[in-house]
A and B are shown apart, each in its own frame.
Chain A
Amino acid sequence: MSPDQARTTSSSSSQVKEIQEAVRRHARVLATGGGSKPALSTPGDDGVVRIDVSPLRGILFYDPEEFTFSAWAGTPVAAVAADLAQNGQHLPFDPPLSAQGATLGGTVAAGANGSGRYRYGGVRDFLIGVRFVDGRGNLLQGGGKVVKNAAGFDFPKLMVGSLGRLGILTELTFKVFPAPRSTASLRADFATLDAGLDAVVRLGRSTFDLEGVDLVATAKGVSLWLRVGGLADTLPGRMERISDFLTDRSEPVRIERFENGEKGVVHWKEMASMEWAPEDGLLVKVPVTPTKVRQVDAAWASQGAIRRYSVGANVAWVAWPGSTRALDDSLADAGLAGVVLRGSSGHPWVGRPTGRRFLERIAAALDPDDKFGAVRSWPTS
């Protein structure tokens, strides 16, 4: 550990105590981090005190041979990714908004995953341990430091997607994977969304090891983006087979292949940075399935929404031009729920999420005085 890191660490310990104090002192609090998801770091109510976790930064432990690292929750994802890359490792779920300063804690709290989630899972699958401050101001630990662990209640998973509304994350332990030596990408354009979805479904049951499967709705139809990774000399052959597979039955308008170069990664970078979405509207993550996408896309298109279907059409990223109310209605009609990352919605969770009754009991245990407001901000059906 460098002297710099040592300083960070000791100052961080006192900062954790400050967070505990702040939680005890104030009636309503909201944890914030890098600010890359403004809708989640803007208090909806008056009287909510912001607790900035971003000074709590630095890697605490990283042993490449263990495939694990621990870091303070305010550590920027980009800083961690750089350290991992030096050892040929990565968090394979393409954590979004890292170029915009997203922190590890914010990524966990938002439950935010990028395109790479398709192959090996998302933040819920790679987070193995947490420390967090509960609504009483207690510092609690959950999970552990080893990649396999079945002891005790799974607090790490509970924190994923919680938006800091069940506890304030202070320290996180992740497992990591070896990064592929090389990657290659392919874009296939289809005339209709349905044709693109057909291809996604066929690929999902094929034996191709795909890292990313994204659909980008365009004015002329839809573009399917695929990414494979592995030893460089195997990639051209594998891409050839995938191209043949795509043209075998369905009829893409055109296929373009990209090697490891800049042009090949541009789509994945753009997906991770969310730069495709207008800065001023709402940006919403909506869990979907291929079947659901077929049902909802036309309605969203007619409302002027820009849609990107990531993770094999399991995540809809929607740039919504209208009001929160209209979005909420649209999701509720389709039996869907979403989380607003950008744009002032006042309500981070929209639509009809499941599990309210279970959540009420969890929140009563972890946050009995409703300081974080999980249930308060949960939509009622």
Chain B
Amino acid sequence: MGDEAPPETADAARLRYSGREATDMPLRELLTALERMYPPDRLLTNPAQLAAYESDALTVFKEQAGAVVLSETQSEVVDTVRLCARHGVPFVARGSGTSLSGGSLPVADGVVIGLSRLNRILKLDPDDRVAVVEPGVVNLAVSRAAAPHRLYYAPDPSSQSVCTIGGNVAFNSGGAHCLKYGMTSNHVLGMKVVLPDGEVSEMGGASLEGVGPDMTGLFVGSEGLFGIALEITLRLLPIPEVYRTVLAAYHSLEDAGDAVSAVIASGLLPGAMEIMDRLAIRAAEVGAQAGYPPDAAALLIVELEGEADAVDAEFSRLLRVIESSGAYEVRVARDEEERTRIWKGRKSAFSAVGRLAPDYIVQDGVVPRSRLGEALARIEALSRAYDISVANVFHAGDGNLHPLILFDGRTTGALEAAEELAGEILELCIELGGSITGEHGVGMEKRHYMSRMFGRAEMEAMERLRSSIDPMQLANRGKMLPLETTRAPGR
């Protein structure tokens, strides 16, 4: 495993990435063709319009597209992809632009295909417990539509009120409930996709089971490199009868971490187990007035859900575990309102951190659960060594860390230092046997860490696979796979 070359600094990557390629001529021809397809209000080409699309939620990367089209139908998407292929112009699909890894950053002089108007729920079948949706449907809209049938869509990224299913599919988004229910890929049963040369292919279906290689599973999380999903068949689950949520306050982060291990050891399977540290608690308090215990060094949120009888019995057991774990305050949500408040604080922690510092980087890494304590101690040491504040919010049940690295971008060198610290945290995750991303994807941000996590043979295999599916490398060029290896190695 690993590669000999050290990862390039983010700054060098940004500089190099902004070097324009000589695609102007094909782009002009493409624009002429697109003008025949799209009315002016859905084909954006002037710089002021394009500026709105130059970044996603990872704003350190900026790039100006050659054009943005706002597609309204599947056939418009297919035709646009075909035109891009014909003219050899790269394209990037974009939903709500909430990617935290730069996944929907435009390619210079490429086309951004805006999918947020492709937002129809095409079918909702309560008998078969599936929804068939277009890629621009907002995550939470699926659960809203399913609610009258007492069903819901389980993956719940923090941005679920705005992020789209298409983006969730491309980046295999997670959420707080992955421990029990898995990530996006565990809830996508089938798809109709347009491949990067404009060919349309179907895979999977409406059944929980499949036949043949799980191509749907391969497509999910491929970060747009295999094309664009036009229709996605999602699995729906019955809304649990009850949720029981407990919040426990600790005098140290280690105690909270130990409590997670104790819960796991007790044989319970909580739907969610989240930890926030002191700085994250402060942010949540400022951002959402969650009413968290103000003096806590760490908060642990644990939630059980299911049939009332079963959950009641399990919850008693959970409380015994938590009460003997050194928590100095334990609060049980007595009703839905209290539960919502507990979660609101947690889910707003990311954005609320913005109130503590002008800028911040949301990092996303995974370590084996049993090494969480070690990882947190080392992040704290890094934070001290760099003299940069780091707030920690994480999905403790599955070892998914979200260090929030605070800095002031107006200070010279502050961004670079923050990025260096972020990079060290990723190295730490790899060293401990984890992953460079649990749910945000590789995107622009982490492509230079791919070869730290995967060996040369794996990188070449991924490159070959991408080149076989997209020989011209038009679909989301430059994401996930480092540019150095974009030429498919010979045999």
Task: Please determine whether A162 and B213 come into contact, CB atoms closer than 8 angstroms.
Answer: yes
Task: Please determine whether B213 and A158 come into contact, CB atoms closer than 8 angstroms.
Answer: yes
Task: Please determine whether A287 and B211 come into contact, CB atoms closer than 8 angstroms.
Answer: yes
One of A68, A113, A134, A358 near B209 (C-beta < 8 A): A113
- Residues of chain B at the chain A interface (Cβ within 8 Å): 1, 125-130, 149-151, 171-172, 174, 178-183, 185-186, 190, 193, 195, 199, 201-222, 226, 238-241, 261, 264-265, 267-269, 306-307, 309-310, 312-314, 317, 366-370, 395, 398-400, 433-442, 446, 450, 453-455, 457-458, 461-462, 464-469, 480, 491
A366 within 8 A of B: yes
Would A287 and B207 be within 8 Å (CB), given that A65-B369, A153-B465 are in contact? yes
Task: Tell me, in angstroms, the Cα distance from A366 to B213 when the chains sit together.
Answer: 13
Instruction: Tell me, rounded to whole Å, the shortest Cβ–Cβ distance linking A263 to chain B.
Output: 23
One of B206, B213, B368 near A160 (C-beta < 8 A): B213
Enumerate chain A residues within 8 angstroms of B453, measured Cβ to Cβ: 144, 151-152
Task: Please determine whether A207 and B214 come into contact, CB atoms closer than 8 angstroms.
Answer: no
Nearest CB to that of B217 among chain A residues? A157
A325 within 8 A of B: no
A217 within 8 A of B: no
Nearest CB to that of A229 among chain B residues? B310
Task: Please determine whether B127 and A290 come into contact, CB atoms closer than 8 angstroms.
Answer: yes
Would A209 and B306 be within 8 Å (CB), given that A66-B368, A145-B368, A365-B468 are in contact? yes
Enumerate chain B residues within 8 angstroms of A288, measured Cβ to Cβ: 207
Task: Please determine whether A151 and B442 come into contact, CB atoms closer than 8 angstroms.
Answer: yes
Task: Tell me, in angstroms, the Cα distance from A306 to B198 when the chains sit together.
Answer: 43
Task: Please determine whether A374 and B433 come into contact, CB atoms closer than 8 angstroms.
Answer: no
Instruction: Tell me, rounded to whole Å, the shortest Cβ–Cβ distance linking A236 to chain B.
Output: 10
Enumerate chain B residues within 8 angstroms of A120, measured Cβ to Cβ: 180-181
A51 within 8 A of B: no
Considering only residues 333-367 of chain A, those with a C-beta below 8 Å from chain B are 337-339, 349, 351, 353-359, 361-362, 364-366
Kindly count the residue-residue contacts between A and B in the assembled complex, taking CB atoms under 8 Å apart. Answer: 289
Partner-binding segment picked from A78-86, A135-143, A185-193, A295-303: A135-143
Task: Tell me, in angstroms, the Cα distance from A122 to B467 when the chains sit together.
Answer: 30
| A and B contact pairs by CB, cutoff 8 A, 11 listed | A120-B180, A150-B174, A158-B214, A181-B267, A201-B127, A205-B150, A207-B240, A285-B211, A292-B207, A314-B209, A366-B465
Task: Please determine whether B221 and A154 come into contact, CB atoms closer than 8 angstroms.
Answer: yes
Contacts A149-B438, A287-B210 known; list 16 others, CB within 8 Å: A63-B368, A111-B211, A140-B461, A144-B435, A146-B399, A146-B434, A148-B400, A150-B438, A151-B442, A154-B218, A287-B209, A288-B207, A289-B207, A290-B128, A311-B209, A337-B212
Would A117 and B208 be within 8 Å (CB), given that A146-B434, A149-B437, A366-B461 are in contact? yes
Task: Please determine whether B450 and A151 come into contact, CB atoms closer than 8 angstroms.
Answer: yes
Would A354 and B190 be within 8 Å (CB), given that A152-B442, A161-B211 are in contact? yes
Enumerate chain A residues within 8 angstroms of B267, measured Cβ to Cβ: 88, 178, 181
A274 within 8 A of B: no
Task: Tell me, in angstroms, the Cα distance from A355 to B199 when the chains sit together.
Answer: 12
Enumerate chain B residues within 8 angstroms of A358, measured Cβ to Cβ: 193, 195, 201, 203, 215, 219, 226, 469
Would A157 and B208 be within 8 Å (CB), given that A150-B439, A238-B310 are in contact? no
Task: Please determine whether A231 and B314 come into contact, CB atoms closer than 8 angstroms.
Answer: yes
A121 within 8 A of B: yes
Task: Please determine whether A362 and B468 come into contact, CB atoms closer than 8 angstroms.
Answer: yes
A166 within 8 A of B: yes
Would A148 and B435 be within 8 Å (CB), given that A138-B461, A207-B238 are in contact? yes
Enumerate chain A residues within 8 angstroms of B438, measured Cβ to Cβ: 146, 148-150
Task: Tell me, in angstroms, the Cα distance from A161 to B185 when the chains sit together.
Answer: 16
One of B178, B211, B491 near A136 (C-beta < 8 A): B491
Enumerate chain B residues within 8 angstroms of A353, measured Cβ to Cβ: 211-212
Enumerate chain A residues within 8 angstroms of B399, measured Cβ to Cβ: 146-148
A291 within 8 A of B: yes
Q: In the A-B complex, list the 5 residue pairs whose CB atoms are closest, starting with the nearest.
A: A157-B217, A207-B241, A287-B207, A365-B468, A355-B203
A 261-301 binary contact with B (CB < 8 Å = 1; else 0): 00000000000000000000000011111111000000000
Enumerate chain A residues within 8 angstroms of B400, measured Cβ to Cβ: 148
Enumerate chain B residues within 8 angstroms of A374, measured Cβ to Cβ: 213
Task: Tell me, in angstroms, the Cα distance from A156 to B221 when the chains sit together.
Answer: 12
Task: Please determine whether B218 and A289 come into contact, CB atoms closer than 8 angstroms.
Answer: no
Instruction: Tell me, rounded to whole Å, the shortest Cβ–Cβ distance linking B305 to chain A.
Output: 9
Q: Which of B178, B195, B313 counts the most A-chain CB atoms under 10 A from its CB?
A: B313
Q: Which of A66, A146, A286, A311 counts the most B-chain CB atoms under 10 A from its CB?
A: A146
Nearest CB to that of A350 among chain B residues? B211
Would A209 and B307 be within 8 Å (CB), given that A138-B457, A150-B438, A230-B313 are in contact? yes
Task: Please determine whether A364 and B310 come into contact, CB atoms closer than 8 angstroms.
Answer: no
Task: Tell me, in angstroms, the Cα distance from A238 to B129 when the chains sit together.
Answer: 23
A62 within 8 A of B: no
Task: Please determine whether B213 and A148 come into contact, CB atoms closer than 8 angstroms.
Answer: no
Task: Please determine whether A157 and B203 come into contact, CB atoms closer than 8 angstroms.
Answer: no
Instruction: Tell me, rounded to whole Å, the shortest Cβ–Cβ distance linking A166 to chain B.
Output: 6
Enumerate chain B residues within 8 angstroms of A161, measured Cβ to Cβ: 210-214
Would A362 and B465 be within 8 Å (CB), given that A148-B400, A161-B213, A204-B238 are in contact? yes
A124 within 8 A of B: yes
Considering only residues 163-222 of chain A, those with a C-beta below 8 Å from chain B are 163, 165-166, 177-178, 181, 201, 204-209
Task: Please determine whether A141 and B454 come into contact, CB atoms closer than 8 angstroms.
Answer: yes
Task: Please determine whether A152 and B307 come into contact, CB atoms closer than 8 angstroms.
Answer: no
A258 within 8 A of B: no
